[in-house]
Amino acid sequence: MTVTAPNLTMLVIDDEPQIRRVVKNALSTAAFGAPDDPEPPKVRVLEAASGKEGTDLAASALPDLIVLDLSLPDQPGLAVCREIRRWSSAPILVLSARHEDTEKAALLDAGADDYMTKPFSTVELLARVRAQLRRARQIMEAVAPTERLMLGDLSVDLALRRVERAGALVHLTRTEWALLRAFILNPRKTLTHRQLFVAVWGNSEGDAQQYLRVYVGHLRRKIEADPMRPRFLQTEPGVGYRFEPAVED
């Protein structure tokens, strides 16, 4: 029996008809799905011209991915992002004409998964959409607590809280383990300094960036073959860090 990939629903929230048309055409004609899918999924693209319309559509259609403009006529895109993230785990890709790092960090803190500045190329848009769909698929197929994650010569057992590198036990402190676990559970997602600080220390008080610079440095020295050129723990300047599980030859 041939098993086909499930259809995908995507939602574009933008008050500019031309932008909606460009994004819809790009998403509708692109091929998505895993490399081993016998048939790529069909894509349905919904459109909304305001924050309220977008929130209502997101709640009723439950899209697999949302492209959200930051400037909407009735409410800020940041507020829409926060509202949708309260009940949806669908990837949210934000479009904005602004470029400030503080704004990017605020959006990621609000639950956005990626950020693109206008004007943008549809090639890059589709690449980012594919990356977010892959990440969502990885989360659905996430490592069970009893399984071991293999990253080249590095192995991490989430259930046993055990890390080995080239067969040798790696001793992690409680804080280092909490930080590594937060990264592993969010593969390929940029986590802001504030998000990581709350995940590890349980609150948002203190100099998150300074604390994390120290502990990420400690963790890199223990799990990276070359801490100065890390493969797993990537820095997103001015924003935070990203865990990249792929191991290159």
Q: Are residues 181 and 203 in the same domain?
A: yes
Whether residues 103 and 169 share a domain: the answer is no
111 vs 106: CA distance, rounded Å: 9
169 & 196 share domain = yes
CATH number for 208 = 1.10.10.10
Task: Report d(CA 167, CA 103) in Å as an integer.
Answer: 43
Average pLDDT for 123-142: 82
Of the candidates 40, 19, 179, which has an alpha carbon nearest to the alpha carbon of residue 96? 19
Q: What pLDDT shows up at residue 246? A: 66
The whole domain housing 159 covers: 148-243
Q: Which tokens belong to 35?
A: 């490399």
CB 245 within 8 A of CB 236: no
Tell me if 64 is assigned to some domain: yes
Give the model confidence (pLDDT) of 175-223 as tens digits.
899 899 889 888 888 888 888 887 787 665 667 788 889 999 999 999 9
Listed residues 110, 140, 170: the one ending a domain = 140
- Whether residues 117 and 79 share a domain: the answer is yes
The pairs formed by 147-151 with CB atoms below 8 angstroms and a separation of 24 or more are 149/184, 149/245, 151/232, 151/245, 151/247
Query: How many CB atoms sit inside 10 A of residue 2's CB?
Result: 5
Does some domain include residue 2? no
Q: 198 and 104 in one domain?
A: no
| Residue 242, beta-bridge partner list | 190, 234
Same-domain check for residues 84 and 109: yes
Shared domain check, 18 and 134? yes
Question: What rounded mean pLDDT belongs to the chain?
Answer: 84
Confidence of residue 74 (pLDDT cuts 50, 70, 90): very high
Residue 137's pLDDT band, with cuts at 50, 70 and 90, is confident
**pTM for this model (two decimals):** 0.63
Number of domains the chain is built from: 2
pLDDT bin (cut points 50, 70, 90) of residue 36 is low
| Last residue of one domain, picked from the residues 84, 105, 140 | 140
136 and 169 in a common domain: no
Spatial distance between the Cα atoms of 146 and 160, rounded to a whole number of angstroms: 8
Q: What is the pLDDT of residue 234?
A: 93
**202 found inside a domain:** yes
Residues 101, 78: Cα–Cα separation, whole Å: 15
Q: Which of 106, 140, 174 is the last residue of a domain?
A: 140
pLDDT of residue 45 exceeding 90, the answer is yes
